[in-house]
Chains A and B, each alone.
Chain A
Amino acid sequence: MKLGKHVKGFWLSIVLAVIFSIIIQFLISGGTLNSFYVNTLFSIGINIILAVSLHLIIGITGQFSIGHAGFLAIGAYISAIITMKLTLPFPVALLAGGASAAVAGLIIGIPTLRLRGDYLAIATLGFGEIMRIVFLNIDYVGGASGMTVTHLTTWPWLISCVLITIIVIVNFTNSTHGRACLAIRENEIAADAMGINTTYYKVMAFVIGAFFAGVAGGLHAHNFYIIQPANFGFLKSFDILILVVIGGLESMSGSVIAAILLTIISTFLSNYPEVRMVIYSLVLIVMMLFRPQGLMGTKEFTSFFKVGKSTKGGSQDGSKHTVA
């Protein structure tokens, strides 16, 4: 039966992921991976969380939000305050970072999600900038010079957060609640007429996405020793957006793969600082020219193992993605 197969595949992927993370843990503690690779690995993990959480908002629910760096900033600063100023343990900081970003998502989401398309994009962009300016002007968190944070992000914390993010968002998507969000993306008027409370589900997707962006903020803050408002400008929001678009708007595995590839590319390009942004931009332009639907298009990673079965399809022409 179909449902049973899903459950089996689910546990299989969890077991594989745990085995993978244990191997990496041994490589790290054994010193096989030097700190350069470890740093890249941590950046990849954080970017995966960001990309997957934004994918829920843009790819699943179809709400074009580009203020994700705002939630990242809230998570980073709140979690840093909790560990550095209140000296509470790291997991509390991560949860608090996520929770405060979720609350911000709720407060921002209720008024702005009435807007559509470009208007929503501008409003969320504004939100991201407001958060940056707010932290810039609070002396308690160091103002423009930022805040120093101890390094607490370890591989087990990182990989557990990545896995939890993916599992929660996959489980949410593959349920009637996720289908309600997909219906909003496909046709909001019809979704409304079919008895779906569209505002509720838009805000819900926004809040869940914001929560995980906040958690990523906590991991980010405790990985890079220092956080400054300048790290959370709108360019950061666009970096996350690029991950989602390059991966394929309607594919979550696409977001993950794009997060891995682009992080690796930009890390290795940091050896050539003069041409780094030029090459990075060229990669993006070539990508959009030859594969406008994104790396994975509408396919999920798991669909390669099944024959002719895909619940989430999508247009292959890519014309509707030009907005990004």
Chain B
Amino acid sequence: MAANTPLLKVDHAGIRFGGLKAVSEVNLELRQGELVGLIGPNGAGKTTFFNLLTGVYVPTEGSISLAGEKLNGLAPYKITKKGISRTFQNIRLFNDLSVLDNVKIAYHSLAKHSILSSIFRLPPHFSGEREMEEKAIECLKIFKLDHVFDEQAKNLPYGQQRRLEIARALAASPKLLLLDEPAAGMNPQETAELMKLIALIRERFDLTILLIEHDMNLVMGVCERIYVLDHGQLIAEGTPEQIRNNPKVIEAYLGEEVS
């Protein structure tokens, strides 16, 4: 990949559900290693935009490409294999499975052993499973979840569930990590810890991160650039300072000034 090719390039992408344009004409570029925020009022189409990126929805217009490779119309699991991984706004863990299994499942696409070698318990099965287990434990250690590895995911406290979801997304070895409101429902202290954690994993795994968030402290604190979405369209883009003073953004959030 040439140094100046953006990692993610979204070109005039959009989707309409019947007559409703949920997202339209979005242009967005992420360079390798950036941490970018995506904000907007409720119902602006932020999560829909994530669903476009991850293949849950197929864009009806425009194109999306990762490192120069077109992603339009690929199944979600294929997009994950290409290097985009996500968390969900409403936590979607594998509730009845253990914390360790949750993370192991994300390593599945890297598994080298076939179904037959597992059924007949051939050597590749054991080496493959051991490698997965070691990787998963290592991943849990980064998120300080290794002491609860045997717990069912649904029994974790809320903050840990959020962390586990990020751990799981990271285990899928992405180039681009999409975080959908990672701090939703967290108290200020937990949010501060999360900010540190996001900065840490970004350094350590050389990640590019796109994050949706309503907590403006978090967004303004960690993001280098911010995109603002309203009614399915990008209304602003820039540094946190520029966004804070952008009249269009203020209007979208607070409404027009009464004259």
Residues of A whose CB lies within 8 Å of any CB of B are 3, 7, 10, 168, 171-172, 175-180, 182-183, 186-187, 189-198, 204, 250, 298, 308-309, 311-315
- Smallest Cβ distance from B105 to chain A, in angstroms? 5
Chain B residue with the shortest CB-CB distance to A197: B77
If the complex has contacts A187-B93, A314-B96, are A194 and B101 also in contact, measured as CB distance less than 8 A?
no
Give the 4 A-B CB pairs with smallest separation, nearest first: A195-B109, A175-B118, A186-B94, A195-B80
| Cα(A10)–Cα(B125), bound, Å | 15
**Choice from A175, A308, A314 contacting B129 with Cβ under 8 Å:** A175
* Contact yes or no, B96 A311, CB < 8 A: no
A179 to B106, CA, bound (A): 10
> How many Å lie between the Cα of A179 and that of B118 in the bound state?
12
Please, which residues of chain A bring their CB within 8 A of the CB of B121?
A: 7, 10, 171
* Chain B interface bracket (under 10, 10 to 19, 20 to 34, 35 or more): 35 or more
Residues of chain B contacted by A194 (CB below 8 angstroms): 77, 80, 85, 105-106, 108-109, 168, 172
* Chain B residues in the interface with A (C-beta under 8 A): 54, 56, 75-77, 80-81, 85-86, 88, 92-98, 101, 104-109, 111, 113, 115, 118-121, 125-126, 128-130, 132, 150, 152, 168, 172
A196 lies within 8 A of B56 (CB): no
Q: Which chain B residues lie closer than 8 Å to A172 at the CB level? A: 115, 118-119
For A309, what are the chain B residues with a Cβ–Cβ distance below 8 Å?
150
Q: How far apart are B53's CB and chain A's nearest CB, in angstroms?
A: 11
Residue contact A190 to B93, C-beta cutoff 8 Å: yes
Query: Chain A contacts of B85 at CB under 8 A?
Result: 193-195
* Most A C-beta atoms less than 10 A away, residue of B86, B108, B121, B132: B108
The residues of A that contact B120 with a CB separation of less than 8 Å are 171
Contact A182 B77 (CB under 8 A): no
A311 and B98 contacting across the interface, CB-CB below 8 Å: yes
Given contacts A180-B108, A309-B150, A313-B152, A193 and B86 within 8 Å (CB-CB): yes
13 more A-B residue pairs beyond the given contacts A187-B92, A311-B97, with a C-beta to C-beta distance below 8 A: A175-B118, A176-B104, A176-B128, A179-B97, A179-B101, A179-B104, A183-B97, A189-B88, A194-B106, A194-B108, A195-B85, A298-B96, A309-B150
A294 to B92, CA, bound (A): 26
Residues of the A chain whose Cβ atoms lie less than 8 Å from the Cβ of B129:
3, 175-176
Q: Are A193 and B80 in contact (CB under 8 A)?
A: yes
| Min CB–CB distance B159 → chain A (angstroms) | 19
Assembled-state Cα–Cα distance A194/B97 (Å): 15
Known contacts A193-B80, A195-B80, A196-B77; A182 and B115 CB within 8 A of each other: no
Instruction: Assess the A182–B118 pair: CB atoms within 8 A.
Output: no
Whole-angstrom CA separation of A250 from B132 in the bound complex: 24
Contacts A168-B119, A193-B76: A313 and B98 contacting too (C-beta < 8 A)? Answer: yes
Q: How far is the CB of B123 from chain A (nearest CB, A)?
A: 12
Partner of B108, one of A179, A187, A312: A179
Provide the bound-state CA to CA distance between A7 and B122, in Å: 12
Give the interface centre of B121, B126, B132 by most chain A CB atoms within 10 Å. B121
B105-A312 in contact (CB<8A) = no
CB distance from B73 to the nearest CB of A (A): 15
Q: A312 to B97, Cβ gap below 8 A?
A: yes
Chain B residues contacting A186 (CB-CB under 8 Å) are 93-97
Taken together as a complex, chains A and B put the C-alpha atoms of A311 and B125 apart, in Å, by 18
Q: Would A176 and B126 be within 8 Å (CB), given that A191-B105, A197-B77, A311-B101 are in contact?
A: no
Interface centre among A176, A178, A182, A311 (most CB of B within 10 A): A176
Q: Are B105's CB and A193's CB within 8 A?
A: no
Evaluate contact between B119 and A195: CB separation under 8 angstroms. Answer: no
Shortest Cβ distance from A171 into B: residue? B119
Output the nearest chain A residue to B117 by Cβ-Cβ distance.
Answer: A175
B80 pairs with A176, CB closer than 8 A: no
Nearest chain B CB to A57 CB, angstrom units: 16
Residues of A within 8 A of B56 (CB): 189, 192-193
CA distance A311 to B56 in the complex (A): 30
**Within the assembled complex, what's the spacing in Å between the Cα atoms of A193 and B177?**
12
Contact indicator B94/A196 (Cβ below 8 Å): no
- With contact pairs A176-B118, A193-B76 given, residues A250 and B108 touching in the complex (Cβ less than 8 Å): no
Q: B98: shortest Cβ distance to chain A, in Å?
A: 6
Max chain B Cβ within 10 angstroms of own Cβ: one of A177, A195, A312: A195
Contact B80 A175 (CB under 8 A): no
Given the contacts A3-B130, A187-B92, A190-B88, A196 and B109 also touching, CB distance less than 8 Å: yes
B93: chain A residues at CB < 8 Å are 186-187, 190
Q: Give Cα A195 to B80, complex, Å.
A: 5
Contact yes or no, A195 B108, CB < 8 A: yes
Q: Give the complex CA separation of A194 and B129 in angstroms.
A: 17
Chain B residue, CB-CB nearest to A188? B92
Q: List 13 A-B contacts (CB under 8 A).
A: A171-B118, A171-B120, A172-B118, A176-B108, A179-B101, A179-B105, A180-B108, A182-B105, A193-B86, A194-B172, A197-B77, A312-B97, A313-B97
